[in-house]
Structure 1
Amino acid sequence: MAYQNLISEVKENILYVTINREKALNALNKDTLAELADVIAYAGKTEEVRGVILTGTGEKAFVAGADIKEFSEYNGKQGEELAKRGQDEVFNAIENSPKPFIAAVNGFALGGGLELAMACHIRIASDNAKLGLPEVTLGLIPGYGGTQRLTQLVGKGKAIEMITTANMITAAEAEKIGLVNHVVPPTDLISKAEEILNLVKQRAPLAVSAAIKAIIASVNNDNGYTTEIEAFGRCFETADFKEGVSAFVEKRKANFSGH
């Protein structure tokens, strides 16, 4: 897949997506968001892809925010459309993807960058990372799901403090409050993400997708228990369920096909 602002490749069933705008600290402009929308859709429909690692080029920034110049003259209606389109095509699309997305946060994850990381299912940060939502310093609020996902991850009080003060926090603080899953040295960032996805790759793909769907339904108040019950039932219809049970009974490693 050839993109102008992204580097993407599939290796050993993992799709590696790198936002490649280092001079702009990997800021999200319209073209980058469009390319992200395309690669997210590709991941969801491609059987070869079992998981995605999303990161930024260089050591300074994962994504330092959105490209403010592009929307500095917008009116209210245009602002709403910007947020809706971004949420639908990129941020919600990641969260609702049947494939697990891991954000490998190298350096600054600010504004839209932190919102992008929060849309991913798992976050790993380098120990030099800084995270924050500084939108109120521009007279704005987060518009790509930041008010919702930060609250889900760290609780109402901490979310209000972070968003209204616009303060950045360290990777260590982010791990302490549950905003990131793991903190590692920069040199170990991608390998830690690979370690997690290599475990996920050993599990039944349809069951992994069903579990993600049920968990996301719970945090979005979308009939989580009902979603779980229905997804649990559908698992019984899969070849992977039969294989998993046979492997358990026969005391061997399961060979899942994703069917």
Structure 2
Amino acid sequence: MSVPLWPELQEAAHRVDELVVALPEPGARLPEERAEIAAAKDAARALRMRYLRTHADAVYARLTSDGLDELRLAELVEAAAAEFPALVPTAGQLAADRGRRQADKEGYEIDQGIFLRAVLGSPQAGPHLLDAMLRPTPRALRLLPEFTRTGVVETTSVRVERRDGAAYLTMCRDDCLNAEDDQQVDDMETAVDLALLDPEVRVGVLRGGTMTHPRYQGRRVFSAGINLKSLHSGGISLVGFLLRRELGYIHKLLRGVRTEDAPWHSRTVEKPWVAAVETFAIGGGTQLLLVFDHVLAASDAYLSLPAAREGIVPGAGNFRLGRHTGPRVSRQIILQGRRIRAAEPDARLLIDEVVEPEEIDAAVAGAVERLRSPAVVPNRRMLNGAEEPVEEFRRYMAEFALQQALRLYGEDVIGKVGRFAGQGA
């Protein structure tokens, strides 16, 4: 199928490219130079939005051979760059930005956000992409024989261990209090895939490992959220982190993994999940809890979603949090940075079980035992389908793709992450 780009869109994209070559590096531009290239980018982006309103389905069909090919996010934007270079940034443009601090980037990922907003927003292309993202990763398939044989896989940031029919995933980035970056997202999706694919696993458990950080030496920490130092240095990507995280392993925790080994009556292999929070679950850590079947926490732990403080959108937290807490509390948490301490009454909106720190191991074992029943999986499927219809999730993620891309390059975000990165955890 031929899907020609509009000449005016090609001209606008070429004008941006000319300015990038002619002007100094982004961090060295004068105010008038920044205004000139911003206007050129805005003009090109407005044309991209208009073009995709009409042609998103045709573009997606061209890239996926009319839906025969299932491309993951990274593969899709790479294919689009090769086929439609004026529509999304090329590999060379992204590579040039990748080595820069966030403050010094051109912001090409905003154009990826425009493209993925259109794809995810399409009732035809969007579901196809969501299904592609529920496939197990090639890395997980390579490691699966080792895991089924030994019951243990160690990655850089997550250890997976099978014991008595349960998969225990331990986040072990003790250098950064389990703050997430592209590497941890890759490791987490691999770990979730392994737990879902192993036929001996009935229940999954996620927990933070023991830290060596001076302030938390010897204590388990669930998650410090997004790694702000990586964001400041330009190491947090829209496709590889922010979107892959939501459409990859978090969505798999909720919906399961698509595989040929799924039962005939289900499109995916699903399993129930337990999360155990010790010390704190900040930002992305709290987002994770919203898709778990049983959440338990130590009595001295706390939860927070400091989105307004950081200046970004907290993943699908805006979509899911209010369902748990109601609209007033969700606004207090997201817009005003309210912390929820495990011991306070409102914590029971997010946490099923609060125990003393020394009782966590026994509480985890009890939760695993309760979730082993064969009736748990079909009932969680029905609950999840009623509480979070996949079409509503798709529409939310379409808008998130663009809004989060814009936030990544907001001047307030760049200023804030620079200060946070200097503070340490």
2:251 is aligned to: 92
* Identity among equivalent pairs (%): 24
Query: What are the residue-to-residue correspondences of 1:212-251 with 2, within 5 Å?
Result: 212-221=380-389
Give, as a single letter, the amino acid of the residue that structure 2 aligns with 1:31: Q
Structure 1 position 110, deviation (Å): 0.4
Q: Which is strand-richer, 1 or 2?
A: 1
Structure 1 position 65, deviation (Å): 0.9
Q: TM-score, normalised by structure 1?
A: 0.78
1:131 is aligned to: 303
1:250 is aligned to: none
Give the stretch that moved more between structures: 103-112 or 17-26.
Answer: 17-26
| Aligned mates of 2:313, 2:377 — CA distance in 1 | 32
| Aligned mates of 2:240, 2:169 — CA distance in 1 | 26
Structure 1 position 185, deviation (Å): 0.8
Give, as a single letter, the amino acid of the residue that structure 2 aligns with 1:38: T
Give, as a single letter, the amino acid of the residue that structure 2 aligns with 1:117: L
Q: Is the 8 A contact 2:185 2:241 kept in 1?
A: no
- 2:329 is equivalent to residue 158 of structure 1: yes
Q: Is the 8 A contact 2:165 2:203 kept in 1?
A: yes
- 2:221 is equivalent to residue 61 of structure 1: yes
The two structures, once aligned, show a CA RMSD in angstroms of 2.3
- 2:336 is equivalent to residue 171 of structure 1: no
1:182 is aligned to: 353
Query: What are the residue-to-residue correspondences of 1:38-77 with 2, within 5 Å?
Result: 38-58=190-210, 59=219, 61-72=221-232
Q: Give unpaired runs (5+ residues) of structure 2.
A: 1-152, 211-218, 257-269, 392-425
Structure 1 position 222, deviation (Å): 5.0
Q: Is the 8 A contact 1:15 1:53 kept in 2?
A: yes
Q: TM-score, normalised by structure 2?
A: 0.48
Structure 1 position 87, deviation (Å): 0.4
2:282 is aligned to: 110
Q: Which structure has the larger Rg over C-alpha atoms? A: 2
- Cα-to-partner distance string for 1:157-192 (whole Å, 9 max, x where unaligned): 110111111121200236644110010011111321
- Cα-to-partner distance string for 1:1-49 (whole Å, 9 max, x where unaligned): 1212112211100111110012311111211111110111111121110
Q: Is the 8 A contact 1:8 1:15 kept in 2?
A: yes
Q: Give unpaired runs (5+ residues) of structure 1.
A: 224-259
1:120 is aligned to: 292
Q: 2:179 aligns with which of 10, 22, 27?
A: 27
| Aligned mates of 1:105, 1:177 — CA distance in 2 | 13
Judging changes above 3 Å, is the alpha-carbon distance between structure 1 residues 95 and 173 closer, same or farther for their aligned structure 2 residues? farther
